[in-house]
Amino acid sequence: MKKTLVLLAFVLLALPSFTQKGKLFIIGGGKRPPELTRRMLQEASLDKGGYAVIIPFASAEPDSAVFYAQQQFLEKNMPVLPILNSHLSKNTLDSVKNAKLIYFTGGDQNKLMKALRQTELYQAIWQCYQQGGMIAGTSAGAAVMSKKMITGNEKRYPTYSQTSQSIEAENIEFGEGMGFLEKTIIDQHFLIRSRHNRLLSAVIEFPEYLCVGIDESTAILVQNNIAEVVGTSQVIVFENPKKSKIQQGIKLGAKNLRISIYVAGEKFKVR
């Protein structure tokens, strides 16, 4: 029996680890200041060689999204591989797996996930991450980093604009994102579009999640579950440590929520 347990322990140790090995660079949308882009490229080690992959599936105009993203990378003389559909040859899939950086452009996160889900490209992106590559994204490309993804829609107010106007139960719509962050919900354009109500609703209904709002021209660099703020604005983090929830009809209330406001250079743990 003891020999069997020892052998089992050895086999488990020999299995590949699926802990986070790569990095995430999650941008809240808007303009990307040069220092933000520079940090992303450095952290991806693209200054030492290699290439970036651009995935523009979230955009209504993928060709334009690739063009503008390429300008950013090509200014640094970085080789770039654009991916314009999810049906790829083995050679192209291998190129995705071995990229130093995979970059999701902005647009509609639902469109992006619909194009990626249950494809070999989805698996290739994950493999790139597991073997040390960086996954980056802006706006919609930031939202998909969460497993529990804000879709951008509200169930009760389908015609709402950019700002959620209520803190209500079962109103915010969620989908399934890429899942690089298991227990963290990402929101973007956060301060400029006053999206506090959306994340407050989320943290009350799902208190086990860390709810992170990233403003424009700002990013979080994530490695080993530690996030560092990069850029020119702030990152707002909501927590519900007491799992407080008060519901009156459809209206939500809570007590002793925790809010933290982080500026560039500061760090916090993600889940």
What are the structural domain ranges in the chain? 19-269
CA dist 171 and 175 (Å) reads 13
The string of pLDDT tens digits covering residues 85-119 is 988 999 999 999 999 999 999 999 999 999 999 99
What confidence score (pLDDT) does residue 160 get? 67
Residue 24 phi, psi (nearest 5): -120, 140
Tell how far CA 155 is from the center of its chain. Answer: 23
Statement: residue 58 has pLDDT above 50: yes
Of 24, 20, 59, 22, whose CA–CA distance to 39 is shortest?
24
- Higher-scoring residue by pLDDT: 5, 231: 231
What percent of the chain stands above pLDDT 70?
Answer: 92
For 19-269, CATH gives: 3.40.50.880
Q: pTM of the prediction?
A: 0.90
pLDDT bin (cut points 50, 70, 90) of residue 7 is very low
The string of pLDDT tens digits covering residues 156-201 is 988 866 778 899 999 999 999 999 999 999 999 999 999 999 999 9
The string of pLDDT tens digits covering residues 249-264 is 999 999 999 999 999 9
